[in-house]
Amino acid sequence: MAGGTGAERRGGDGGPITVGVVNLGCPKNQVDAEVMLGQLAAAGYRIAESPEEAELVIVNTCGFIQEAKEESIQSILAAAELKRRGRCRALVVSGCLPQRYAAELPGLLPEVDAFLGTGEFARIGEIARTALATPGRDRVWITARTALPTADLPRRRLTPPHVAYVKVAEGCDHTCSFCAIPGIRGRLQSRPRADVAAEVRRLAAEGVREVILVAQDTTAYGWDRGEPRALVRLLEELLQVPGLAWIRLHYLYPTRIPRELVRLLAAEPRLCRYLDLPLQHCDGRILHAMRRGGHETSLRRLVDGLRAAVPDLVIRTSFITGFPGEGREEFAALHRFLEEMRFDRVGVFCYSDEEGTGAVALKPKVPARIAEARRAKLMAVQARIAEERGRALIGSVQEVLVDGPSPQFPELMAARMAGQTFEVDGCVYVRGPAPPAGRFVQVRIREAFEHDFVGEVVEVPQ
């Protein structure tokens, strides 16, 4: 067995060794963490409620931008402190950070017992056994490839039982000048459509009501396999899976949205009318420097066309401020674009130089304080738009999916409309008797805030 013998997995209390995971970064990273937990549980390890209770701690890191790298390092140091106190016997660091800095991290973090790259998740049982048996030896488990999950790999999901992320592809063939992902995760690799469908059928049989399809560029799914229609064909197949109520798409590249996908969105209510569509900027010169293509006119045409075809479509997007060469004029155009397009959800990030990317060499650099001030201005605009959009829903009746008791307000249930993705877009706090998690309920919206709503139950579907 990959995890070793029972004796090798015996914890301090004589039972199985306990494992805790600290997962950072995006949902794609979370799938990797879930696969590792599934492998370890299948090998006989016991999953701890928190890292503080674990004898083996795994920190699954993000290494995408400077802020994410700093968070990863702080989390590793916090886990190392648990090891110093004595309960934690072995510390494993996995994910994008060790994949990106395989040569540097072992010398900088001697307290880590194993560094696990993005191609070795299925070997976590072997790696954990080695880290526990011989701390400080065989520390680096990193190859140049990135592994894809498969339907037959056990997973221990970190989401509620009725929600699941499904990674359909890894890597990216785009060459965006600000992005380090292709250097970390490699080129596009799509899972076979039959394998994805098999996983989704199993998840639905386990009670999952919502699947969220994720990749670096979901619209590119299947292109590397010579199947340009693969995404639409996959969705058509998944729409036949009994029990699924919502299918949601994340991370769509703006210039690759096929007309067939738009038609499917308009026709199929189980396909959430929600698109996560990172635009990054609107100025043509900045977009060209980003190696994104397009310009303000083409982006307006894209968004207007999507809204015309799917009138109730919710669009989430993201922008970068402070990209090299962004002057007052370019930022003013972005500010105006955001004001006028009135997106439903927006994230704004400050540019940071990332080694190995093309934008490092671009000039002139924008000072960090200016990039942050511009980010704050955009977020203030979007806060106002979000509040106005939210107030427009007061008094309306909306169908929501119940996620469970609210961690912030235990007396209320947390739920989501189809236009709110899990753990990202806020929620609807439900007053009154509500069904258990995983069920749908009709609520009347009574209050609206920037991200969240408060509603009361008016009908529980049978």
Question: In the chain, where are the structural domains located?
Answer: 7-141, 163-391, 397-459
Tokens of 307: 């809204």
Residue 3 has pLDDT above 50, yes or no: no
- CATH architecture of structural domain 163-391: Alpha-Beta Horseshoe (3.80)
Share in percent of the chain as helix, strand, coil (round to 5): 35, 20, 40
Whole-number mean pLDDT of the chain?
92
> Cα separation of 200 and 206, whole Å?
10
> Cα separation of 460 and 75, whole Å?
42
The H or E element spanning position 61 is: strand 56-61
Do you find a cis peptide bond into 254, omega within 30 degrees of 0?
A: no
- Say which DSSP state 17 is in: P
Span 114-127, average pLDDT = 92
3.40.50.300, 2.40.160.40, 2.40.50.140, 1.20.1440.230: which CATH number matches 397-459? Answer: 2.40.50.140
> Cα separation of 401 and 419, whole Å?
11
% residues pLDDT > 70 (the chain): 96
> Cα separation of 450 and 453, whole Å?
8
For the stretch 326-354, pLDDT in tens is: 999 999 999 999 999 999 999 999 999 99
pLDDT at 7: 36
CB 283 within 8 A of CB 392: no
> Cα separation of 278 and 287, whole Å?
12
Fold of domain 7-141: Rossmann fold (3.40.50)
For the stretch 211-233, pLDDT in tens is: 999 999 999 999 999 999 999 99
pLDDT at 334: 98
- Say which DSSP state 26 is in: -
Residue 71 has pLDDT above 90, yes or no: yes
Instruction: Tally the C-alpha atoms within 13 A of residue 28's C-alpha that lie toward its C-beta.
Output: 25
Do you find a cis peptide bond into 324, omega within 30 degrees of 0?
A: no
pLDDT at 4: 44
State which amino acid sits at residue 78: A
pLDDT at 10: 61
Span 289-316, average pLDDT = 95
> Cα separation of 66 and 22, whole Å?
19
For the stretch 398-448, pLDDT in tens is: 999 999 998 888 889 999 999 999 999 999 999 887 788 999 999 999 999
Sign of CA dihedral 154, 100, 82, 25: negative
Distances (CA, A) of 283 to 92, 156, 289: 43, 43, 10
Q: Which of 304, 316, 324 is nearest to 371 (CA)?
A: 324
Residue 114 has pLDDT above 80, yes or no: yes
> Cα separation of 67 and 63, whole Å?
9
pLDDT at 2: 40
For the stretch 6-30, pLDDT in tens is: 434 566 556 799 999 999 989 999 9
Whether pTM > 0.75 for this model: the answer is yes
Q: Do domains 7-141 and 397-459 have the same CATH topology?
A: no
For the stretch 357-399, pLDDT in tens is: 999 999 999 999 999 999 999 999 999 999 999 999 999 999 9
Phi, psi of 442 (to 5 degrees): -90, 130
For the stretch 171-215, pLDDT in tens is: 999 999 999 999 999 999 999 999 999 999 999 999 999 999 999
pLDDT at 63: 86
pLDDT at 300: 97
